[in-house]
Structure 1
Amino acid sequence: MHGDRVLFIDGEALVIDKPAGLPVDRPRNGSISLENHLESLKFGFKRWPVPVHRLDRDTSGCLLLSRNPKAHARFQQAFEGGLVEKRYLAVLNGVVEGEGMIDLALAKVSTIEEGWRIVADPAGKAARTGWRALRHEGGRTLVEFRPQTGRTHQIRVHAATALGAPVVGDLVYGAGEAGGMLLHAASLTVPRGEAKDPIIAEAPLPERFGAFTE
Structure 2
Amino acid sequence: MDLVTNTTQPLSILYQDTELVAINKPHGLLVHRSMIASDASEFAVQLLRDQLGQRVYPVHRLDRKTAGVLLFALSESMNAIMQQQFMEGAVQKTYLAIVRGYTPDELTIDYPLCKDDGNGAVGVLQEAVTHLKTLRQTEIPVAFGKHPTSRYSLVELTPTTGRMHQLRRHMAHILHPIIGDRPHGCNKQNKLFKEHFEMNTMLLHAQRIEFTHPVTQETTTIAAPFQAEFRRMLGVLFGVGDLK
User: So what's the TM-score if we normalise by structure 2?
Assistant: 0.76
Deviation at 1:40, TM superposition (A): 3.1
Deviation at 1:48, TM superposition (A): 1.1
* AA at the equivalent of 2:171: A
- Return the match for 1:158 from 161, 164, 170: 170
Structure 2 unaligned spans of 5+ = 1-6, 140-150
Moved more, 176-185 or 142-151: 176-185
* AA at the equivalent of 2:152: R
Q: Tell whether 2:92 aligns with 1:85.
A: yes
Task: Report if the CA contact (8 A) 1:8-1:200 is conserved.
Answer: no
Q: Tell whether 2:62 aligns with 1:61.
A: no
Q: Tell whether 2:104 aligns with 1:94.
A: no
Query: Which residue is 2:202 aligned to?
Result: 181
Moved more, 131-140 or 172-181: 172-181
Query: Which residue is 1:142 aligned to?
Result: 154
Deviation at 1:73, TM superposition (A): 1.1
Counterparts of 1:151 and 1:79, CA distance in 2: 12
Deviation at 1:200, TM superposition (A): 1.6
Query: Which residue is 1:124 aligned to?
Result: 125
Distance of aligned partners of 1:7 and 1:90 in 2 relative to their CA distance in 1, 3 Å threshold: same
Q: Tell whether 2:44 aligns with 1:34.
A: yes
Instruction: Encode CA deviations 1:159-214: one digit per residue, 9 max, x unaligned.
Output: 110x2110000011112413210000000112125843233210112222222534
Counterparts of 2:93 and 2:116, CA distance in 1: 26
**How much identity, in percent, do the aligned residues show?**
34
Query: Which residue is 1:71 aligned to?
Result: 78
* AA at the equivalent of 2:180: G
Task: Report if the CA contact (8 A) 1:160-1:174 is conserved.
Answer: yes
Q: Which secondary structure does the structure 2 equivalent of 1:165 belong to?
A: coil
Counterparts of 1:192 and 1:200, CA distance in 2: 10
Instruction: Encode CA deviations 1:94-131: one digit per residue, 9 max, x unaligned.
Output: 11121021111100469xxxx83459x8x610011111
Deviation at 1:70, TM superposition (A): 1.5
Counterparts of 1:94 and 1:118, CA distance in 2: 27
Instruction: Encode CA deviations 1:131-178: one digit per residue, 9 max, x unaligned.
Output: 1011012311000000001100000011110x2110000011112413
User: So what's the TM-score if we normalise by structure 1?
Assistant: 0.86
Deviation at 1:52, TM superposition (A): 0.5
Counterparts of 2:52 and 2:220, CA distance in 1: 18
Distance of aligned partners of 1:27 and 1:173 in 2 relative to their CA distance in 1, 3 Å threshold: same
Runs of 4+ displaced beyond 6 Å: none
Counterparts of 1:165 and 1:154, CA distance in 2: 14
Instruction: Encode CA deviations 1:22-44: one digit per residue, 9 max, x unaligned.
Output: 0112144352222330333426x
What is the number of residues matched between the two proteins? 204
Task: Report if the CA contact (8 A) 1:131-1:146 is conserved.
Answer: yes
The two structures, once aligned, show a CA RMSD in angstroms of: 2.3
* AA at the equivalent of 2:44: L
